[in-house]
Structure 1
Amino acid sequence: MNKSFAPIQTRPLSADATVLRCDGVLAPRVTPESPADRAMTDLRKVPAVTATAEMQADEALQRMIHAGVRLLLVVDGRDSVKGVVTARDIMGERPVKAAQDEGIPRDAVQVKHVMSKVSELEAINLDKVEHSRVGDVVETLKKSGRQHALVVTSLDGGGEAVCGLFSATQVGRQLGVEVSPEGPAQTFAELERSLAS
């Protein structure tokens, strides 16, 4: 395996991060040596798919299916990021545990009960991405043990905004790797094999 790849530095996502929004383009084929931004879903070009914390978890899952994504940014009415929710969060054990903990029926579980909050998230600065390669992104995802990594940029008036994200599944597709639905460990093993080729 090529040992010249390294995880990109991450840092805590700020509590006042917002979401940048724009319109879409298709993802190009990449190699591990390709610039990292070629594997990034750029929210300045592709609309962010979002949910609110009060949305029913099952409704959020339907939104993911409809949009063809496996992660929603959880935002408030001002587009401030409050967290993220993944298909795995909704289809896994979290809703059952939340229903038991809250004493509510499973179908009353909301996104806020199963999401990862801002305080649990890390982000990569866009300027770091601009000087990194796809192989570095794979190493970053592997190190974090997460299927997704958020990318942020500083705003002119202060604060920051989520301007992109990396998805292990998307990176795998762009690398031409068949990514397994069995979970992060299997996905990372498949991506790592692509780096070694």
Structure 2
Amino acid sequence: MGEFKKIDTVELKGVYQFCDHFDSEKLDLKSTALKIVTDFTRRTPQVILKDVDVDHALFMMVNGHVRSKLVIDHDDTFLGVINSRDLTGRKVLTVAQKRNQSRSDLTVEDLMTKKSDLRAMPYSMVENSKIGDVLETLKGLGHQHILLVDEKGSLRGMISASDIARALHIPVNILQTAHSFKEIFEIIHDHQEIIA
């Protein structure tokens, strides 16, 4: 660790207030959507292997302070997305029961949202969009996040509802959208579990 040095710190004695202004602009729904993008050209995406078991995946998310990860196989091929709700909600018990397996035998691949069920937005569209536009898109899809693709068809980034909520200091509630009777049933049960 010879190339790094400890930075001197100061006491907080006599400090009682926050600074009068922020160095960066205050964000609102009309701000450019680029301000809330997790851009994979600047930040390495949060990934997880498909065969990680449920408990270990949850442990990784909690300790990494993230709510979702991109799922990959051993060749780094993108397969889908997993979020902490998938790992702690009714979905875990439903899949375990359906497969006649114990919860601890389930993997990320068993619970992820598959790539075929996800939607993406061209990065070029985000460049000309407002945060409010992205929020409306998420609400319309009933998804907590949207992936971004570049002109080559590669994953360029992601925007999540929780990133919007954090940046704007507002609550963001995205209701899941059902596309089949089975999905309606699952959403109702997930909603009842949250209330209970």
Q: Same fold (TM over 0.5)?
A: yes
Q: Which secondary structure does the structure 2 equivalent of 1:45 belong to?
A: coil
- Cα shift at 1:28: 7.3
Per the alignment, residue 184 of structure 1 pairs with 174
Equivalences for 1:66-105 in 2 at 5 Å? 66-105=63-102
1:191 aligned residue: none
Q: Secondary structure at the match of 1:34?
A: coil
Corresponding residue for residue 41 of structure 1: 38
Name the aligned partner's letter for residue 184 of structure 1. I
Shift in alpha-carbon separation, 1:86–1:32, aligned structure 2, 3 A: same
Change (3 A) 1:185 1:98: closer
Q: Number of residue pairs matched?
A: 153
1:123 counterpart (120, 125, 137): 120
Structure 1, residues 105-145: CA drift from partner, whole Å, max 9, x if none? 11111111111111101100101111111110110111111
Q: Name the CA distance, whole Å, in 2 between partners of 1:154 and 1:57.
A: 34
Tell me: CA distance 1:105–1:150, structure 2 relative to 1, closer, same or farther (3 Å).
Answer: same
Q: What does residue 60 of structure 1 align with?
A: 57
What do you get for the CA RMSD once the two structures are aligned?
1.9
TM-aligned CA deviation for residue 64 of structure 1: 1.2
* 1:6 corresponding residue in structure 2: none
| Aligned mates of 1:54, 1:94 — CA distance in 2 | 17
Cα 1:147–1:28, aligned 2, differ >3 Å: closer, same or farther?
farther
**Which residue pairs with 2:138 in the alignment?**
141
How far has the Cα of 1:99 moved from its partner? 1.2
CA spacing shift, 1:58–1:42, aligned 2, 3 Å: same
Structure 1 unaligned blocks of 5 or more: 1-26, 187-197
Tell me the secondary structure at the aligned position of residue 56 of structure 2.
Answer: helix
| TM score, norm. by length of structure 2 | 0.72
Which aligned segments of 4 or more residues in structure 1 are displaced greater than 3 angstroms?
A: none
Q: Kindly provide the amino acid, as one letter, of the partner of residue 170 in structure 1.
A: D
Match of 1:166 in 2: 159
Can you list the C-alpha shifts for 1:24-49, whole angstroms capped at 9, x where unaligned?
A: xxx97521111111111112112211
Whether contact under 8 Å (1:40, 1:166) holds in the other structure is yes
Structure 2 segments unaligned to the other structure (5+ residues): 1-23, 177-196
Structure 1 residues 114, 47: closer, same or farther in 2, change over 3 A?
Answer: same
1:141 touches 1:168 (CA, 8 Å); kept in 2? yes
Bigger-Rg structure (1/2): 2
Q: Which has the higher contact order (CA 8 A, sep 6+)?
A: 1
- Over 3 Å counting, the alpha-carbon distance change for 1:29 and 1:111 in structure 2 is farther
Q: Equivalent residue for 2:107?
A: 110
TM-score by length of 1: 0.72
Q: State the one-letter code of the partner of 2:168.
A: L
Q: Tell me if structure 1 keeps the 8 A contact 2:67–2:83.
A: yes
Given that 1:150 and 1:164 are in contact with CA atoms closer than 8 Å, whether structure 2 keeps it comes out as yes
| Partners of 2:48 and 2:61 in 1: CA distance | 10
